[in-house]
């Protein structure tokens, strides 16, 4: 059961990473964008690892302080979830 929950958390972080990467692509190509509140909410809800990695790897939303705040809080949520799942 624990491995399934950890796998679910991994998949969620991959989804969050993909949302950030797609939004970066859309920004470059002047397409319809994913709303910031969607990206922030995904970061808060256990997607901190994926959001931070996407921010660093695709250089997206790194200049906005509130995204950094969301990523750090998301990392704490991820850490808490991993701790709770592991024990």
Burial bucket for residue 49 (CB in 10 Å: 0-12, 13-18, 19+): buried
**The residue to which tokens 């949302």 are assigned:** 19
Q: How many domains does the chain have?
A: 1
Domain, as residue range, for 6: 2-86
Q: What string of pLDDT tens digits covers the 87 residues of the chain?
A: 899 999 999 999 999 999 999 999 999 999 999 999 999 999 999 999 999 999 999 998 889 999 999 999 999 999 999 999 998
- Torsion angle, alpha carbons of 56, 65, 19, 1, to 10: 80
36: left (phi over 0), alpha (psi -120 to 50) or beta: alpha
């Amino acid at each position: 059961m624990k491995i399934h929950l950890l796998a679910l958390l991994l998949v969620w972080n991959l989804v969050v990473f993909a949302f950030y990467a797609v939004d970066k692509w859309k920004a470059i190509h002047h397409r319809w964008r994913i709303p910031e509140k969607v990206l922030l909410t995904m970061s808060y809800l256990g997607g901190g690892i994926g959001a931070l990695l996407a921010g660093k790897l695709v250089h997206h939303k790194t200049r906005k302080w509130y995204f950094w705040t969301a990523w750090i809080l998301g990392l704490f949520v991820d850490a808490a979830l991993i701790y709770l799942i592991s024990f």
